[in-house]
Amino acid sequence: MFATLLALTPVLLILAYLSGIASKKLPKPPFQSWPWWKTLAATIAFGVWAFAVPGNPFIVDAPVLMMVWVGATLVSMILGLVDPIVMQWGRR
């Protein structure tokens, strides 16, 4: 289930992006301008947070789960800080 949802994350994000473009009746943007960074960031975030959910089948020890929670929080913060940099440089 984890692998399926991890693989579906970028697919669904790109489909949502293209659906939004199509619903506004805008022309299809060039392939290079699709939200690749946001797709990667969303996939990383999902993968990390899936391990941080209590009761997941991967982490059963409470102390390890707490470390995973800290790691997931750090990854989320780092992705949030890197996002404006990537978005600004990507426009050039």
The whole-number mean pLDDT for each consecutive block of 10 residues of the chain, a chain of 92 residues, reads 95 96 94 93 94 88 91 94 88 62
The distance from CA 70 to its chain's CA centroid, rounded to whole angstroms, is: 18
> If you ran DSSP here, which 8-state letter would residue 38 be given?
H
Q: What is the pLDDT of residue 66?
A: 92
Q: Mention every residue, 6+ apart, whose C-beta is less than 8 A from residue 29.
A: 21
Please report, as a single letter, which amino acid is at residue 13.
Answer: L
Structural domain spans, the chain? 2-90
Q: What is the pLDDT of residue 92?
A: 58
- Can you say how many angstroms the Cα of residue 82 is from the centroid of all Cα atoms in its chain? 13
d(CA 50, CA 56) in angstroms, rounded, equals 8
* The pLDDT value given to residue 91: 66
Measure CA 86 to chain center: 14
What is the identity of the amino acid at 9?
T
Distances from the Cα of 91 to the Cα of 21, 25, 40, angstroms: 18, 23, 17
Q: Rounded to two decimals, what is the model's pTM?
A: 0.83
